[in-house]
Amino acid sequence: MGVTHQSRGSDLLAASQRFVRRPGFLSRILAPGFHKLLDKLDAGMERGAVLGRLPDGSTRLIGGRAPGFEAEITIHNWRTLLRVATGGSVGLYQAWEAGEWSSPDPVPFFAVFMQNAETLGDAARAKGGWRRALASAHRRQRNTRAGAAKNIAAHYDLGNDFYAAWLGETMTYSSALFDPARAPETLNAAQRAKIDAILDRVDLKQGDSLLEIGCGWGPLARMAADRGAKVDAISLSDEQLAWARRQSAGDARFLKQDYRDTKGQYDAIASVEMVEALGHEYWPTFMDCVARNLKPGGRAAIQFISMKDELFDAYAGSADFIQAYIFPGGLLIRASEFRELAQARGLAWTDEVRFGQDYAETLRIWREKFDRAASEGLLPPGFDERFKALWRYYLMYCEGGFRGGGIDVHQVTLIKTTGDGA
């Protein structure tokens, strides 16, 4: 199924409106308290610093007491602080979109706030009625069977021509794995290295059967087939499946299927950054899927993005910018809980590695490629300037999160130690 060439990305932009909170006259009423908010931010900024230029012409240094990320920001309108004080990261984006703040480089600005997220507490998080409203809006985007199909379509069916303009030749929409020994290294080489690492984890051999849960545009399935494996690769994205089927080679089948409907016995399972789309209530269902479909002694390799355990409860209690505008229904993983769910199903959690700074570098390269495609007119028609700005902000926001250390990316191997399926 193709996408229309008019108002592309409108599903994300339209869906985001349920999260909009306009401060209006409150900004004028609460203006005297803005410096109190800045005081609270300053108190929680243990590392790094933000130099802020304020609407009244004054400047304010937040932090600056210990080494860390350093950023500059100009606040053009006091409404920015009200939006942040009430709506957290959602309010911060809405202020940026409205032109109420700017920065010569937002990445270190996002990074320094993530670096200090624990000590900042709720100073920059959604509060009160706004917090409850954001949480309620997010709950309406749950990944039921119908909801998952809708949510996946909103993001991944933006169009293959859109993603091809900036993802790179591998069409891999997940963190690459860079090797300092091979520096400088191309993104495409690092993406293939990531896929090889996943396939090595499951000890894939000629004739083995592999289930890939969330196959994207099919690069992992194709590389597995090149190793002689028989691959069933599933997705809910019509656009991704159309691309994958056109590029298919070897013994690989690309199926439109919900992971909850899988029924087979496989030597190996792979899933790369699919679980973040599930939502908390479906984590057990995912692990049931792995346990049910994996042969005794079989291996599953999972790559996933986590939120730091200490930050997870506050994060999961509302909705952030990514959930509101980019990945409807999504939720980053709490690694400790994910591990417990695996172990409870007879899946031994082994050989876990983390490489969040590789993701930051991946995002930096994506943004450079996206900006180049936009400036050279290489993006496909239908994406307006508002959508392009949203996407650029998304890539910067994510890069800052990884650089700041509050979010991370993991690879782990799960080994089925019992003969019982879930």
Task: Sort 200 into a burial class: Cβ within 10 Å, 0-12 / 13-18 / 19+.
Answer: exposed
Flag whether 171 is in a domain.
Answer: yes
pLDDT at residue 170 tops 70: yes
Flag whether 123 is in a domain.
Answer: yes
Q: How far is CA 140 from CA 157, 289, 307, 334, 377, in A?
A: 20, 24, 22, 22, 36
pLDDT at residue 29 tops 50: no
Q: How confident is the model at residue 12 (pLDDT cuts 50, 70, 90)?
A: confident
Q: Are residues 358 and 246 in the same domain?
A: yes
Q: Are residues 154 and 126 in the same domain?
A: no
Place of tokens 């509050």: 406
Domain holding 31, by residue range, is 10-138
Q: Are residues 274 and 210 in the same domain?
A: yes
Query: Into how many domains does the chain fold?
Result: 2
Q: What tens digit of pLDDT does each residue of 225-283 get?
A: 999 999 999 999 999 999 999 987 778 999 999 999 999 999 999 999 999 999 999 99
Q: What tens digit of pLDDT does each residue of 126-148 get?
A: 555 555 656 566 666 778 888 88
The CA angle 182-187-193, to the nearest 5 degrees, is 60
Q: What tens digit of pLDDT does each residue of 101-120 get?
A: 999 999 999 999 999 999 99
Flag whether 257 is in a domain.
Answer: yes
Strands 347-354 and 407-416: antiparallel
Q: Are residues 60 and 127 in the same domain?
A: yes
Flag whether 318 is in a domain.
Answer: yes
For residue 68, give the 3-state DSSP assignment.
Answer: coil
Q: Which residue has the higher pLDDT, 138 or 154?
A: 154
Q: Which of 107, 138, 169 is the last residue of a domain?
A: 138
Instruction: Report residue 126 as tokens.
Output: 């959604």
For residue 256, give the 3-state DSSP assignment.
Answer: strand
pLDDT at residue 39 tops 50: yes
Q: Are residues 82 and 189 in the same domain?
A: no
Instruction: Report residue 365 as tokens.
Output: 């390269």
- What pLDDT sits at residue 52? 96
Flag whether 320 is in a domain.
Answer: yes
User: Can you tell me the distance from the alpha carbon of 12 to that of 327, in angstroms, rounded to the nearest whole number?
Assistant: 8
Q: How confident is the model at residue 63 (pLDDT cuts 50, 70, 90)?
A: very high
- What pLDDT sits at residue 21? 53
Q: Are residues 263 and 304 in the same domain?
A: yes
User: Can you tell me the distance from the alpha carbon of 396 to that of 272, in angstroms, rounded to the nearest whole number?
Assistant: 22
CB 247 within 8 A of CB 218: yes
Flag whether 39 is in a domain.
Answer: yes
Flag whether 2 is in a domain.
Answer: no
Looking only at Cα atoms, what is the longest distance across the chain?
Answer: 70
CB 272 within 8 A of CB 199: no
Q: Are residues 44 and 61 in the same domain?
A: yes
State the chain's mean pLDDT as an integer: 89
Could you tell me the CATH number of the domain that includes residue 162? 3.40.50.150
Average pLDDT (371-386) is 94
CB 162 within 8 A of CB 383: yes
pLDDT at residue 28 tops 80: no
For residue 346, give the 3-state DSSP assignment.
Answer: coil
